[in-house]
Amino acid sequence: MRKAKGWLGLAGLLLLLAGPAAAYQESFWNTDFGQMTLVYQGSKVTGTYTDPPGMLRGKINDDGTLSGYWLQSKSQYACGYQREGTYYWGTFSFWADGSDRFDGYWTYCDGSGGGRWTGVLTGKR
């Protein structure tokens, strides 16, 4: 559970730094899939990544992990149904590896294939 608390602690730190009036906070990451930006609104998280270009939709769970789904306009595998207008999507789960890194995994569609997804914090605002 130590890793989970780190991720939750990082998200909480980002929200605390903004003060009570801030509705959003952003963090910037260098990841296995290029540069990633995450935007936090409470426990909901949206994001983008660059290589290949894609989007993330997720939430911070009670155990501190960040999980949800990714979307792309193209991928090696097409799912059997669309999500947000594309057949190219899958799931992800990230957990903190200290206060400035995350480790995680991704899958195609609802859980097939996939691999590891890691990142290092490069900035926040």
Count of CB atoms situated within 10 Å of the CB of 47:
21
User: pLDDT of 46-67, one tens digit each?
Assistant: 999 999 999 999 999 999 899 9
d(CA 26, CA 18): 10
What does the pLDDT read at residue 4?
46
pLDDT digits (tens, 9 = 90+) for 12-30: 544 443 344 444 599 999 9
d(CA 16, CA 125): 11
What backbone phi and psi angles, to 5 degrees, belong to 81?
-150, 160
In terms of Cβ atoms closer than 10 Å to its own Cβ (0-12, 13-18, 19+), residue 80 is: exposed
CATH of domain 2-124: 2.40.160
More confident residue, 30 or 10: 30
The reported pTM is 0.82
Position 18 scores a pLDDT of 39
Kindly tell me the burial class for residue 116, based on how many C-beta atoms sit within 10 Å of its own C-beta (0-12, 13-18, 19 or more).
exposed
CA 48 remoteness from chain centre: 9
User: What pLDDT, on the 0 to 100 scale, is given for residue 99?
Assistant: 82
What residues does each domain of the chain span? 2-124
Nearest to 117 by CA among 26, 44, 33: 33
